[in-house]
Amino acid sequence: MRLFLNDTLSAATKALPEGPITLYVCGVTPYDTTHLGHAFTFVQFDALVRALRWLLPERQIRYVQNVTDIDDSILARARKLHTDWRALGDAQTSQYVQDMRDLGVAPPSQLVRATSAIATMQDLIVSLVERSAAYRVEGGSVFFRVRSFDRYGELSRLTREQMLDIAAKQDDADLDDPRKEDPLDFALWKGWSGQSDEPCWDSPWGRGRPGWHIECSALCRQYLGQQVTLHGGGADLVFPHHESEIAQSESALSVRPFAHIWAHVAMVRMDGEKMSKSLGNMVFVRDLLGSHSASALRLYLLKHHYRGVWEWSSRELDDAAAVTSRLEAAARAPDTSAADTREAFASALADDLNTPAAIDVLTRATGQTLRDLGGVLGLSL
């Protein structure tokens, strides 16, 4: 069985390369509760890993997901709540882990914190400065020199104007920082502001803390090596986060490609807008699990293909719960599934993780076959 996935960088469907599989998925910034958009991303990657283990049982799989436990948004939130950034991060990470467990999401091989890789981040930044891909400025900050990487923009296919427009809307937007050679240059290292509640680490450039993008380049390097088979995350991370990761990792390590396949999960919308913390239009996983089973919620999420944008609807969640009840009844009935059921289910998953088609196959299965195949999607039937 060969598995094909869409690759954002080449905008083409690619076969999964041979050999051990390494998967890195950008995880949460632990400063608020897990909403349905997060759940869609992590349930889809959970389904992918479950599908890989079932379709390719002989292949070794290592799945690393990170927790962005240090960045501007978590520091701002901690300040607002008059709490310590580390205590806030710990509490929200525990809540996230619990939400995922309640949703039947299998834990990744390793859930790693950004602060566990500060030394690796500094090594990468040293290498970037040596190669003139980064420059140190007054105040102890170091910026990545975007013009040193001529493929910057290849992943997102954005024009320079579009990139500037999105960069201006980031939490830590600093386009007009006069120390930058180019407004698109981004901070690899941020010199310490001197504020006592701002965490800092010693570095070759003085005290400071890492920028967001370098965290994931370093975590990939530290936990999975110079290259990864698959790199994933929500589609809102394509630019600037993943675009910048490619530029950093390929410039610092001289290895290309950084990731063989880039997989991005579409955004969930609510009231016509992307569901997000910044807009405040959110439905929380923990509330939905109060009234629906984990299987019903997973079925609702997986009825949407991971690359298609969709809109939250409580009616459709209720419909998915009704389908789940019918599947549970069918799973207890004698197995009268057609002979090619498992093959049809496998083909659907191997075709760019087509979970809606796989669920269609489930609705025609019964008994043990249905229980087995439901288990591949993490449904307890």
CA–CA gap between residue 271 and residue 330 (Å, rounded): 35
Choices 24-32, 106-114, 155-163, 196-204 (CB under 5 A): range interacting with Zn ion: 24-32
Handedness of CA 240, 242, 247, 248 (dihedral sign): positive
For Zn ion, the closer CB: 26 or 218: 26
Q: Does residue 259 touch Zn ion according to CB under 5 A?
A: no
Q: Point out which residues pair with 66 in neighbouring strands.
A: 112
Tell which residue, 33, 280, 76, 28, has the closest CA to residue 172: 76
- Considering the complex, what minimum distance in angstroms separates the CB of residue 267 from Zn ion? 16
Q: How many residues bind Zn ion (CB under 5 A)?
A: 2
Q: Which of the ranges 7-15, 26-34, 164-172, 290-298 carries the binding residues for Zn ion, by CB under 5 A? A: 26-34
Q: How many CB atoms lie within 10 A of CB 183?
A: 17
Minimum distance from residue 196 beta carbon to Zn ion (Å):
28
Answer whether 174's CB lies under 8 Å from 212's CB: no
Minimum CB distance to Zn ion smaller for 145 or for 231:
231
Answer for the pair 371, 345: CB distance below 8 angstroms, yes or no.
no
Smallest gap, in angstroms, from Cβ of residue 226 to Zn ion? 17
**Sign of the alpha-carbon dihedral angle for 133, 259, 239, 241:** negative
Nearest approach, Cβ of residue 64 and Zn ion (Å)? 11
Part in contact with Zn ion (CB under 5 A); list of ranges 22-30, 37-45, 55-63, 172-180: 22-30
Rounded CA gap, 366 and 381, in Å?
A: 10
Residue 66 or 324 with smaller CB distance to Zn ion: 66
CA distance 342 to 362: 9
Q: Is 112 in the site for Zn ion (CB under 5 A)?
A: no
3-state secondary structure of 139: coil
Q: Least Å distance between CB 220 and Zn ion?
A: 9
26 in contact with Zn ion (CB under 5 A)? yes
Q: For Zn ion, which stretch binds (CB under 5 A), given 46-54, 176-184, 210-218, 289-297?
A: 210-218
- Identify the three-state secondary structure at position 144: strand
Cβ atoms of 128 and 252 within 8 Å: the answer is: yes
Shortest spacing between CB 238 and Zn ion, in angstroms: 11
Alpha-carbon span 31 to 242, nearest angstrom = 21
Does 216 engage in binding with Zn ion (CB under 5 A)? yes
Stretch that binds Zn ion, among 19-27, 118-126, 149-157, 279-287 (CB under 5 A): 19-27
Minimum CB separation of residue 11 from Zn ion in Å reads: 21
| Residues at the contact surface with Zn ion, assessed by CB under 5 A | 26, 216
